[in-house]
Chain A
């Protein structure tokens, strides 16, 4: 059991590390906060690449054959590579590193009241492997033949045989990058799980753990338990590509459907892997800014576990029409619809948290509420796709695309900005500019809806995905389908909105720049009067995080407790004894 606790000399000792060289401080650090920043910066850089890709192929769709400023004329091969890598980057190199790795690294030790991860060196290794994977992926765009263009699902035989995909090097590098990335997150994930299980502050029982930590840990467990088959599949795919084995080649007795199962057995839980951390951030934010306890903490926890376990039973709903036995579709329809129950319950619980609260619409709160509202759209449109019969129509249309962007965008972008703006004072010690924050918020969320609502309409009209120009399809160039707009007008609308949204991201970078330039650290350790342990640490937390490692006396959401109100305050931090 825990014997040694705080050793002040140790902290002083750590203090000297501050004047180590640049490499030692920023690249070779084992400090969980620095590794979090490394993940965050890498993830944001990759987000810029992914966003640029989106800009290029949206321009091509809106104005087929146009010389896209900053890229040039888009060929079909380039178009395929752009959409493929946009998807891959946004999920594996943006959502995962930012939501799980960056926030997990930053928050877990702070929120459970300890000074670092349990395996700091493995943590550093995890980032280095991740960085390597990012480099491998980016390099795959520049090799001979260009980047891999077989969709992020990489269905063989297209992905396995270079005679079919015509990108012999690009596709292999793509698989290698993805496999390396999985290794990085396995290392990181086991670190997160172990830290949260083993290094909690004294007094912190299971039900005293902040939701953000719970969610990141459950997400890491889901990732760890689901990724295995895909790692196995990636190994087989690499052999198929390089040595021409026939794991997925029907001519050699293999089966392409096997890959689909290996992929989606991971691919569906992956949705929840990135969803859960975002939900965790939202829980922290809406409780803080409505000054209320999280409604039914235990119910949320049970629904998280329920969702997690159910998410392993639904994967084939991505394959309804992809060659699986039609009888299996019945089972997967039922399990998929079942998963709506815990998710709906979680939504209701979050919304119920607002009831009789005292809501302040700060920037992080706006992001958190936008997450709930937008994700709701993503959630309900998922029902259409999870039901086998309607999926015959919807499969591979823009409806699917709009649906999962309504889930992934709130998760990866809105969720990240919610977390980032909320914990920014803790990360840097300085408050962000609220006005710029709100401009950025509205400048992101309104265009976001203008991008993807038209795409729902296009999907409803039967437009398929991953087609680089619709000019050859008469049925997809109709006039006057919605409010006097033709289908091409809707595409142009979506593209325009995307450009506007990307432009508004500079407001965020301006805000970051202005904040970092501020001289004084004006945040204080607890700017929001919040309860969880990270607000005890100084902002920004130094090496070792806490001056004295805290002890926990209660749950993280004790806002507006009647006993405390009598004392004239509406929050009751976890670390205060009385």
Chain B
């Protein structure tokens, strides 16, 4: 799973769950496929060799199937536990540390609008910074997002963060992320949203605190303008 960047705190958790499933499922897959091909090759029709009358009612093969049954169930338990642990971490817990900031993410046809809290760290204050298609966050700072949509369903997906959540009109969904690596990452829309669905790439800029402060300073004028226009 090092194929793609993992740039958030929970990216590794998601990857590890995937890895666990890969091992468990891979084992069964190759075992089954191996047996399958072996049977096809081994029991090809040969002159003089008849098929055996096995209805599966016999005790021996029945026991065999029951065994597999149980093993599959045990694997399922592992997978369920791993999946739910990741799920709770990503979707059901919010960071509560004081440095946590909240950003508002609004999907619309066909762009993403972001409302940053600005220097005071609070939303709905005059220094909020609004941007389109560019989300600016600080590295290593936990963020809570409030996600909604203006028109149709969209999906806020940052693959490098392993973050994905649909934006549903008439509903505000909260979640969180904490970037661990500075850099620019791609935001895709992951829910069919109309003609421009393929044309709404946005970027999340993960910045060091200094870079972030510089960006905020450069935006303050724009924020004032946006405020005046409200």
Interface residues of A (CB under 8 A from B): 76-77, 79-80, 149-151, 153, 155-158, 161, 164-166, 250-251, 254-257, 290-297, 299, 321-323, 326-327, 329-330, 333-334, 337-338, 340-341, 344-345, 347-349, 351-352, 354-361, 369, 372-373, 376-377, 380-381, 383-384, 387-393, 395-397, 460-462, 464-469, 472-476, 481, 557, 559-562, 565, 570
Are A150 and B192 in contact, with the CB atoms below 8 A? yes
Kindly provide the distance from the CB of B97 to the nearest chain A CB, expressed in whole angstroms: 21
Which B residues are CB-close (under 8 A) to A158? 152-153, 192-194
Kindly provide the distance from the CB of A410 to the nearest chain B CB, expressed in whole angstroms: 14
Are B43 and A383 in contact, with the CB atoms below 8 A? no
B191-207 Cβ-contact flags toward A at 8 Å (1 or 0): 11111111101000000
Q: Which listed residue (A153, A341, A360) contacts B72, Cβ 8 A?
A: A341
Which B residues are CB-close (under 8 A) to A344? 28, 68-69, 72
Are A355 and B192 in contact, with the CB atoms below 8 A? no
Which B residues are CB-close (under 8 A) to A334? 80
Interface residues of B in 159-206 (CB under 8 A from A): 159-160, 162-166, 168-171, 173, 185-186, 188-199, 201
Q: If A327-B92, A333-B80, A361-B44 touch, does A472 touch B201 (CB 8 Å cutoff)?
A: yes
Q: Which B-chain residue is minimally distant from A396 (CB atoms)?
A: B190
Q: If A251-B170, A341-B76 touch, does A475 touch B186 (CB 8 Å cutoff)?
A: yes
15 residue pairs of the A-B complex, CB under 8 angstroms, read A80-B192, A149-B194, A250-B169, A294-B56, A326-B87, A327-B92, A334-B80, A345-B65, A357-B43, A387-B80, A389-B86, A392-B90, A395-B190, A466-B192, A565-B50
B32-43 Cβ-contact flags toward A at 8 Å (1 or 0): 110110011001
Most buried by A among B55, B82, B90: B55
B7-36 Cβ-contact flags toward A at 8 Å (1 or 0): 000000111011001100110110011011
Q: Which B-chain residue is minimally distant from A254 (CB atoms)?
A: B170
Which B residues are CB-close (under 8 A) to A327? 92
Q: Which listed residue (A256, A333, A341) contacts B87, Cβ 8 A?
A: A333
Q: Which listed residue (B171, B186, B198) contacts A466, Cβ 8 A?
A: B198
Which A residues are CB-close (under 8 A) to B28? 344, 380
Are B157 and A396 in contact, with the CB atoms below 8 A? yes
Are A256 and B153 in contact, with the CB atoms below 8 A? yes
How far does the alpha carbon of A562 sit from the alpha carbon of B33 in the complex, in Å?
Answer: 30
Which B residues are CB-close (under 8 A) to A389? 13-14, 17, 82-87, 90
Are A395 and B164 in contact, with the CB atoms below 8 A? yes
Q: Which A-chain residue is minimally distant from B36 (CB atoms)?
A: A351
Q: Which listed residue (A250, A341, A345, A396) contacts B164, Cβ 8 A?
A: A396
Which A residues are CB-close (under 8 A) to B157? 396, 464
Q: Which listed residue (A297, A352, A466) contacts B65, Cβ 8 A?
A: A352
How far does the alpha carbon of A89 sit from the alpha carbon of B57 in the complex, in Å?
Answer: 42
Are B65 and A561 in contact, with the CB atoms below 8 A? no
Q: If A151-B192, A256-B169 touch, does A462 touch B4 (CB 8 Å cutoff)?
A: yes
How far does the alpha carbon of A552 sit from the alpha carbon of B148 in the complex, in Å?
Answer: 63
Are A323 and B168 in contact, with the CB atoms below 8 A? yes
Which A residues are CB-close (under 8 A) to B92? 326-327
Q: If A345-B65, A392-B14 touch, does A359 touch B197 (CB 8 Å cutoff)?
A: no
How far does the alpha carbon of A153 sit from the alpha carbon of B191 in the complex, in Å?
Answer: 11
Which A residues are CB-close (under 8 A) to B86? 388-390, 392
Kindly provide the distance from the CB of A17 to the nearest chain B CB, expressed in whole angstroms: 42
Are B17 and A358 in contact, with the CB atoms below 8 A? no
Are B50 and A376 in contact, with the CB atoms below 8 A? no
How far does the alpha carbon of A334 sit from the alpha carbon of B44 in the complex, in Å?
Answer: 40
Q: If A340-B76, A345-B68, A358-B49 touch, does A79 touch B39 (CB 8 Å cutoff)?
A: no
Are A383 and B21 in contact, with the CB atoms below 8 A? yes
Interface residues of B (CB under 8 A from A): 3-4, 13-15, 17-18, 21-22, 25-26, 28-29, 32-33, 35-36, 39-40, 43-46, 49-57, 61-62, 65, 68-69, 72-73, 76, 79-80, 82-87, 90-92, 109, 151-153, 155, 157, 159-160, 162-166, 168-171, 173, 185-186, 188-199, 201
Are B29 and A80 in contact, with the CB atoms below 8 A? no
Are A290 and B51 in contact, with the CB atoms below 8 A? yes
Kindly provide the distance from the CB of A256 to the nearest chain B CB, expressed in whole angstroms: 6
Kindly provide the distance from the CB of A355 to the nearest chain B CB, expressed in whole angstroms: 6
Which A residues are CB-close (under 8 A) to B194? 80, 149-150, 158, 164-166
Q: Which listed residue (B79, B162, B164, B196) contacts A383, Cβ 8 A?
A: B79
Are A473 and B201 in contact, with the CB atoms below 8 A? yes
Q: If A337-B79, A384-B18, A472-B199 touch, does A464 touch B56 (CB 8 Å cutoff)?
A: no
Q: With contacts A155-B152, A391-B83, A467-B198 known, what are 17 further pairs, Cβ within 8 A? A: A79-B198, A80-B192, A151-B192, A155-B153, A157-B151, A290-B43, A323-B166, A323-B173, A351-B36, A356-B43, A376-B33, A393-B15, A462-B159, A466-B192, A466-B198, A473-B186, A473-B201
Are B17 and A348 in contact, with the CB atoms below 8 A? no
Are A377 and B201 in contact, with the CB atoms below 8 A? no
Are A461 and B3 in contact, with the CB atoms below 8 A? yes
How far does the alpha carbon of A570 sit from the alpha carbon of B49 in the complex, in Å?
Answer: 12
How far does the alpha carbon of A88 sit from the alpha carbon of B65 in the complex, in Å?
Answer: 38
Q: If A341-B69, A345-B65 touch, does A387 touch B188 (CB 8 Å cutoff)?
A: no
Q: Which A-chain residue is minimally distant from B28 (CB atoms)?
A: A380
Kindly provide the distance from the CB of A103 to the nearest chain B CB, expressed in whole angstroms: 25
Q: Which A-chain residue is minimally distant from B32 (CB atoms)?
A: A376
Kindly provide the distance from the CB of A61 to the nearest chain B CB, expressed in whole angstroms: 10
Are A392 and B163 in contact, with the CB atoms below 8 A? yes
How far does the alpha carbon of A206 sit from the alpha carbon of B62 in the complex, in Å?
Answer: 22
Q: Which B-chain residue is minimally distant from A293 (CB atoms)?
A: B55
How far does the alpha carbon of A251 sit from the alpha carbon of B169 in the complex, in Å?
Answer: 9
Q: Which listed residue (A333, A340, A467, A570) contacts B188, Cβ 8 A?
A: A467
Q: Which listed residue (A256, A296, A361, A395) contacts B55, Cβ 8 A?
A: A296
Q: Which A-chain residue is minimally distant from B162 (CB atoms)?
A: A393
Q: Which B-chain residue is minimally distant from A342 (CB atoms)?
A: B69
Q: If A461-B4, A570-B50 touch, does A250 touch B25 (CB 8 Å cutoff)?
A: no
Kindly provide the distance from the CB of A74 to the nearest chain B CB, expressed in whole angstroms: 11
Are A464 and B83 in contact, with the CB atoms below 8 A? no
Are B198 and A76 in contact, with the CB atoms below 8 A? yes
Most buried by B among A293, A351, A383: A383
Q: Which A-chain residue is minimally distant from B47 (CB atoms)?
A: A358
Are A359 and B40 in contact, with the CB atoms below 8 A? yes
Q: Which B-chain residue is minimally distant from A563 (CB atoms)?
A: B53
How far does the alpha carbon of A291 sit from the alpha carbon of B83 in the complex, in Å?
Answer: 43
